[in-house]
Structure 1
Amino acid sequence: MQTNIDLQGLRVAVTGGTSGLGLALVRQLTAKGACVAFVARTATNVERIADETGAHGIVADVGKKEDIYPIALQVTASLGGLDVLINNASSLGPVPLALLADTECEDLEGALAVNLLGAFRLTKALFGALAASAREGRDALVINISSDAAVNAYPDWGAYGASKAALAHLTAIWNEEAKADGIRLLALDPGDMDTPLHALALPNADPSTLKAPELAAAEIIEKMLDALPVRAQPTAGAHA
């Protein structure tokens, strides 16, 4: 795994940026020189992480339609454009987890609102900024954080799994459609992590059996770099 990655000048937006994988991404991206804007719902947490990392914090809820365009405006204004969007914010749906027959319609709607519609709406709102980056000869990439629950039928995970499955297929379709604009879209599964979301879903799980979010973030960043052809090109004078 690379340890000396330089992301100087890369403009990245991360949703769900104050805990778990999102927080690890914000910390590692800023430490490697990226210009980062992140989104989360709790103002005190946003302020704390912004102060810690130097990233631009945005208080909003990606599950709310009315918050999407204000998020997009703040992202592009604070970063001067956008190269990478990481749709990381997630909702389990019902807590405690429930069989689909016992899942309230509102809980399914809540999972879809964040995991699918939130990612769709924010990507759509920022699509022009990403396309502009591609036209300028920069990289343009959307990473949607998925899950093995998108492909495996786990009992009790119906709302979450269905929303992530829809997100994964939406990503694949949009990646084909966006090629003409120079934008790539990837759905990445970080694995089972020791995060507040996982603890909420499975409070009795042994943390030692779970991946640290810091490791998952490092793996996501490596995959991100693999998908950034402009940044991967050697600079003038560099040794092959």
Structure 2
Amino acid sequence: MDNLKNKVAVITGGNSGIGYATAKQLKEQGATVIITGRRKEAIEKAASELGVHAIVADQSRISDIENLALKVKEDFGQVDILFINAGITTKGTIEEATEELFDSVMNINFKGAYFTLSRFTPILNDGASVVFLSSNTASMSYAGTSIYSSSKAAVNSIVKIAALELAPRKIRVNSISPGPTETEIMKKIGLDEEGVKTLMNAIVDTIPLKQMGTSEDVAKMVSHLSSEASKFITGADFIMDGGMVLA
């Protein structure tokens, strides 16, 4: 379980859900792990629980990203694993959309993800692994998901181009596109516990494998893509949705 020993890993949005599970997974495999997040109390609490390092940074702010990259370089040197995970979701029709809502989602999910890779590229080791968290909604069409789905489709475009640009340095860039996953983000869309349960049951009915994904499922894939086992994989998007896109 130490196949990532001596590797330095940075995970954005690491205080809960997929980011938290991935930090745990990479730490268990021997990596030095740094998690980031907007809320100081939450990110430091998570870091304490996990036994990893925490740096407060808001992925929607370019200045925060630049300061994060400088701090990581100063304290840890070069980076071997970069998991660009921080993101937010929303629902609403195109007619109902506001500029504020559009900007809040795009600033984190697209612009923030883009500039995280941009500013970290100089401190990535040759042969490093970059993984973006995308979503199966990037390749599916559902009413009310236009802003979120567009932000993730944009991420998938970044992955392919970045994979080509960074190939000369043997840096691999891939994305993971989960389907419905049991995380706290499900509770952040304005539903109470009963509402979340009803929604989850309805979603499960649309999944061929008849189950929700877990944060740990995604964490294991990030670990795989960060290891030597994936040294010939780049520019790929791994859909993890129990066959949902096929239905």
TM-score range, shorter chain: 0.7 to 0.9
Report the TM-score when normalising by structure 2.
Answer: 0.82
How far is the alpha carbon of 1:5 from its aligned partner? 5.1
Task: State the identity as a percent.
Answer: 27
Distance in 2 (alpha carbons) for counterparts of 1:121 and 1:71: 11
Distance in 2 (alpha carbons) for counterparts of 1:5 and 1:190: 26
Match of 2:34 among 34, 37, 45: 37
Match of 1:168 among 153, 156, 178: 156
Distance in 2 (alpha carbons) for counterparts of 1:228 and 1:69: 28
Distance in 2 (alpha carbons) for counterparts of 1:29 and 1:116: 25
What is residue 83 of structure 2 aligned with on the other side? 86
| Counterpart check, 1:25 vs 2:22 | yes
Task: Pick the structure with more strand per residue.
Answer: 2
Q: How many residues align?
A: 217
What is residue 219 of structure 2 aligned with on the other side? 217
Match of 1:111 among 102, 105, 108: 105
* Other structure's SS at 2:199 match: coil
Q: Do 2:137 and 2:179's aligned partners in 1 also have CA atoms closer than 8 Å?
A: no
| RMSD, matched Cα | 1.8
Q: Do 2:18 and 2:219's aligned partners in 1 also have CA atoms closer than 8 Å?
A: yes
Q: Do 2:129 and 2:225's aligned partners in 1 also have CA atoms closer than 8 Å?
A: no
Q: One-letter code of the match for 1:99?
A: T
Task: State which drifts further: 55-64 or 193-202.
Answer: 193-202
Q: Which sections of structure 2, spanning at least 5 residues, go unmatched?
A: 205-210, 233-247
How far is the alpha carbon of 1:158 from its aligned partner? 0.9
Q: Do 2:131 and 2:225's aligned partners in 1 also have CA atoms closer than 8 Å?
A: no
Runs (4 or more) in structure 1 with deviation over 6 Å come to none
Match of 1:140 among 122, 128, 136: 128
Match of 2:12 among 12, 15, 38: 15
* Other structure's SS at 1:83 match: strand
Report the TM-score when normalising by structure 1.
Answer: 0.84
How far is the alpha carbon of 1:27 from its aligned partner? 1.0
